[in-house]
Amino acid sequence: MLKFHFDAGHGWLEVPVIELRKLKLMDKITPFSYLKNKIAYLEEDYDAAIYLDAIDKSAEIEEINDGLLSPICSYPHFPSKIQVFN
């Protein structure tokens, strides 16, 4: 089950970075998404759509309301190119 976090202004799909690597999407994710502890938080307008297009679109999505301002906004932005992930 996928997790979709949202606050009063925006939303992000939670995806393990390893999934992005397997699907060869690492270079398609924009810096409008966030990254923390090898988890990508894909912004809803563009990056999440790229991921969802690459997987089974019938996947269940759990919505998580993060209140007025999600803590995701304080995470580092997704780098435009990631060299190494263990």
The pLDDT confidence band at residue 59, using thresholds 50, 70 and 90, is confident
The pLDDT confidence band at residue 56, using thresholds 50, 70 and 90, is confident
Q: For the chain, give the percent of residues with pLDDT over 90.
A: 84
Q: Which of 21-30, 58-67, 74-83 has the lowest mean pLDDT?
A: 74-83
Provide the residue ranges of all domains of the chain, joining segments of one domain with +. Answer: 2-56
Spatial separation of the C-alpha atoms in residues 78 and 42, rounded to whole Å: 9
Question: Which structure tokens are listed for 77?
Answer: 């932005």
Q: Which tens digit of pLDDT belongs to each residue from 26-38?
A: 999 999 999 999 9
Q: Which of 63, 75, 78 is nearest to 6 (CA)?
A: 63
Across the chain, mean pLDDT equals 91
